[in-house]
Amino acid sequence: MRNYRGIPIDGKDFVFGWYIKLSSHHLIADETTDWDNAGEPGVIEIEGLIEVIPETVGQQIGQQDKNKKEIYQGDIMEWYNACVTKGQNPICRTVIKWNNLHSRYEGIVRTGKIIGTIHTTPKLMEGK
């Protein structure tokens, strides 16, 4: 199973692990999650479960950019496109997203590199 990531509701940096949705709560279980105490009576919080902002949850897509960095949904990729018409900017950018209609990820460019995410650096996509 591929990892997920999300931004905690009280933090700025992504957390990585398994994604769990319980009622209206969106959670990431990281490597410190204490599953041994999960079923004990009176245990309200499970150590290592982190509530995240739902819109920031993205799954690892199983591919890497040209720098061998794992690609996640919501990543912004940049690449050089030599096949643009004269006068156009050869530096292209795209956001990695899932296409339900075609059951595949869009925006994957094997020669590109990750330069940010739509959640933390959305200005990178302005005018693109």
Mind listing the pLDDT tens digit for each residue in 106-127? 888 778 999 999 999 999 998 7
Strand order in the sheet with 25-29: 49-51, 25-29, 15-22, 4-6, 58-64, 70-72
pLDDT of residue 43: 44
Reported residue count of the chain is 128
Same domain, residue pair 62 and 100: yes
14 φψ region: left (φ > 0), alpha (ψ -120 to 50), beta (else): beta
Query: What pTM was estimated for this model as a whole?
Result: 0.81
Same domain, residue pair 89 and 26: no
Same domain, residue pair 32 and 84: no
Same domain, residue pair 61 and 120: yes
Q: How many domains does the chain have?
A: 2
Q: Which residues, 6+ apart, have CB-to-CB distance to 69 below 8 Å?
A: 113, 114
Distance CA 6, CA 18 (A): 10
Same domain, residue pair 11 and 51: yes
Same domain, residue pair 43 and 83: no
Same domain, residue pair 64 and 122: yes
Distance CA 96, CA 113 (A): 12
Mind listing the pLDDT tens digit for each residue in 16-69? 999 989 888 899 987 766 666 655 544 445 667 889 999 999 999 999 999 999
pLDDT of residue 58: 95
| Domain boundaries, position 108 | 57-128
Q: What is the DSSP letter of 52?
A: B
